[in-house]
Structure 1
Amino acid sequence: MLLQERARTLYTQLLHELNRFPAGGKFYGVRELVSRFQVSRRVVDLTLRQLAGDRLLEHRELCGFYVRSFRKRRHVVFYYNDWVNEELREIARDLKDEFDKLDCDYEFGSVPYDYRSDLVPQLESSPADVLIVCPPSRPITPQEIVFAAKSSKPVIFLGRNLVDASLHCTFRKYEFGMSLLVDYLKEKGHRKLAILSAEAPVGGNRIEAEAFVEYAAARECGVVRIPCTAEVGNYTPAIAHDALFRHLELHGADFTALFVISEYAAQGALLALSEHGLRVPEEVSVVGSGSALCAGYMHPPLTTVGVNQQESMAALAREIHRMWDRFDGGERIALFSIPKITERANVCTITKFNCPKHKENRI
């Protein structure tokens, strides 16, 4: 009777251990199990026979036990906004790469969703074990918060601080990033700044824009707000181009450094500056918000303020892996990232020798 009880206990423990092995991989040997779990050889033999009988392990003569290839896979799905966005594609690639590196049999998929509609029905019908959601560029609705809180499947929101709602989330310290950016530009000699928000003013976009203006004022820098009507889900370079082009037509370049939300839309701003004969960075420095790889391929390459997306997704994948069997215990994933400035070719230092003549830099 005692043998059966110990075998059942070991059976439960080994079910969790199975997830550490790839499909078809060799399982622990008998001696290793005896040593690792401090049980007798008889308990180990009985448990391994039960696992093989349940078709979770395959016994190969003179070779040991192997994990069957058709055992249950860990299914993780990333839901992202269904509009063109280079950063979202990079997040999907980074997540897939990180789950592929883990020593478990993960099945990862990416699914676009309609950002204009209610997320709940789309998430309710998901077959995944864990749902990673990039929220739409609008406030998360109370219904979506309630669903995530009550869902039997973990729902992890990216880029939103939902710690107070006791939800799984990742977020970045937007205010710190803006403080870092303003100090960086001021150290480069810039005192007249401009901000062009080519994304809808919700979530992190709103926080970034407000924090940039606030910190610029605190550092005694002037800020020009360039009007831009950004629609949810539509922040193409054309929007930034048209907004900046109109401003330059009316006011000229009344700033020395321009901050664009986002780095994707900054391509349009660079074109508008070029069309007005303004050289970047000699006459106007430009910084974009975000961390998409496309920033490094612009002309000139775009300086950005954002988080290291690959490191952030690696941390998230490791945290999901760590908590896989403990999601029901009340512990929540709450990862935050510290933004940093990735300096490239389109920010220059203003000195008395290169201060642009078409504008007064001091206020």
Structure 2
Amino acid sequence: MTTIDDVPAPARFGLSRQLVISATVLAVLLIILGFYAPNFFRYNNLMNVLLQSSLLGLLAIGMAVVMIVGGIDLSLPANMAMGAVFGAFYMKVTGDWTIGVPIMIATGMAVGLINGCAVAYLRMIPFVVTLAMMTVISGATVWLTNSLSISQLPPAFVALFDARPLFRVPLTVVYVAILSIVVSVLMRSSIIGRWAYAVGINDRAARVARVPIKNVVLASYVFAGTMAGLTAVLLTARLGSASANMGNDGVVLDIVSACVLGGISIYGGSGRVWGALLGAILITVLSNAMNLIGVSFYLSLVIKGAVIIGFVAADRRKETRQ
């Protein structure tokens, strides 16, 4: 009988070509910036890049787990924005951040639970479900806020989650780095992680191996929603406000891009979670670099899109060979 141990190790944990290429591209890009945009290496700019990468990386970690299982969650940015708005509403009215933070996280988990149930138990197509969810909660968030920002949040909330206690390094960077390590270890070493890769590689074989497929798929979407909730907390603290615009459509592209550039296969069952964080750093550095050297916004979109297409094409070739 097929067992979970029959899943080939390289498929689960191998260092993908995309990941190696991304690391190389990042190194080359940093060298070029040293010659043509030395301002990039100013301390404040580096901290800003790390902070932006961390917030994007947190969403990318959630997306990576979903993609490894073989799905996708396009609603993550909108989910984040809704959680931020709900929590900010509560904190502004009551001044109590100790309840506002759980509200943000619970909102993200609830949306993830709905997505997961629709995909796992109703067998709906992930792309369609999460796209519809993105539309619904984006519209709801704009309607609730009247397109206005919610500010005047408790100072203690901002001070705690946007602190820079050591060498002005944001605590957000530390939080995300630790979380990335923990999730990567769990995905590599725990039975739940092995189940996730097994479902992404071949759900029929996973079913024969008695993997609880529905529960694994559901858990992946709930986890992604939790990451959206955590991002809502950290981003709201950084901005000192919350708004529906926090989850604009462009963020979805950056999240998927970070995963693809980080070696997460869009076909499921392959990639390392920490690679998504590397992809987020590459995307952020690329955007920052083009801004520093004066590349227009629209041309930067063309360049980013071309890079992503190249990586997806490489992923497709790898899938075809297998």
- For the aligned pair, the TM-score class normalised by the smaller chain equals under 0.3
User: Which structure is higher in helix share?
Assistant: 2
Q: TM-score if structure 2 supplies the norm length? A: 0.27
The one of the two structures with greater contact order (alpha-carbon pairs below 8 A, sep at least 6) is 2
Select the structure of larger CA radius of gyration: 1
